[in-house]
Amino acid sequence: MNSTSQTWHFPEDAPLQLESGYALKRAHVAYATFGELNTDKSNAILVCHALTGDQYATGENPKLGRQGWWSKVVGDGCPIDTTRYFVICANTLSSCYGSSGPSDINPETGKVYGIDFPFVSIGDMVEAQYRLARSLGIEKLLAVVGGSAGGMQVLEFARKYGDFFHAAMPIATTAQESPRNIALHEVSRQAIMADPDWLHGRYAEEGKIPALGLRIARMSSHVNYMSPEKILQRFGRSPSRPGDAKMFYKPDFEIEDYLHHQGVSFKNRFDANSYLYLSKALDMFDLASGPDGLVGVFRNTGARFCVIAFSSDWLQPPEESRKIVRALTMCNADVSFVVITTDNGHDAFLLDEPEMFSVIRGFIDATYRLRVEGGSAPAAAVGA
């Protein structure tokens, strides 16, 4: 399945008003769609991507020359079946795959924004996707689905537009970033900003890339996407090149080789300033800070929820999902909770997880039967 990325532009008379108060002029959102929208537009599902993801959820990604990041979940016959559902996936604001971000030209100066680009919150990203969906004539989504940072967007949709969708599926996520994760993000940001080629965020004007900083940032982050069990199983202490005297200059272990590969790949495909903005948006996300906490956030949504966590996820451990489920339960919401036993860590939502596939398929199909066809759905269940 192939899909061409499209771009939706905010009307000039209705610019995107950011939560900071800044009006982002000429804002645009790059997005891709998969499947066909039915006559009454009741089969639309919005898929929200993770931190450094893109709009190519499935099919071939023409920019990166590889399959879409969720090709096992979205597609013909997949858990989110595009022969039945119409899937929208938008590149988030501040990213570098076609939506408004730091690498755009500032209309006020005629130069690349760089770090003059305004801060974009998770709420702003959701606002952009909401307006995109409305521009497609969709009055109510069947579901909003996303993992990790995409899961944060799902939860933010519940806060901002709780009546705009029938179902929500936040996966491997949290309602507020932990101090530990904020610290990890800051280490990555400092690695980028310490690179001499970062040039205080003006590297694009000089035709440079802070490649070393990006590589280190990705290496630092990627360790947390895997579980200790998976690292031990896949790499152990297997040597990369035993006997090499230049032990400080070249990887000595396979895990080091792997991280170097991840770093090189990342610096070739992602923008440094985008990484700074997106990671800071995660840090600032905090749904639980209001006077009524999470209960207040979910009180006015009538949507069904299915919350998924992974047993070996040490970036967003199951307890973070349990907090979300507790709040939904206190609101008497229709909520299911599944903790999937796996050694794939945080990245499990991107990998081959048959139990996750079954849960997603069952939840989405049941929601369609219940909310669109008027049938019945299985009773909600809360797992351990």
Catalytic residues: 148, 313, 346
φ/ψ of 15, rounded to 5, equals -65, 165
Q: How many CB atoms lie within 10 A of CB 331?
A: 18
Nearest to 322 by CA among 340, 307, 342, 344: 307
| Residue 130 to residues 114, 135, 160, 223, 295, Cα–Cα distance (Å) | 26, 9, 10, 33, 23
CA 372/CA 72 separation, integer angstroms: 25
Strand-pair category, 28-34 with 86-90: antiparallel
Nearest to 75 by CA among 361, 368, 367: 361
Q: How many CB atoms lie within 10 A of CB 110?
A: 7
Query: CA dihedral defined by 198, 185, 131, 301, rounded to 10 degrees?
Result: -170
237 Rama sector, left if φ>0, alpha if ψ -120 to 50, beta otherwise:
alpha
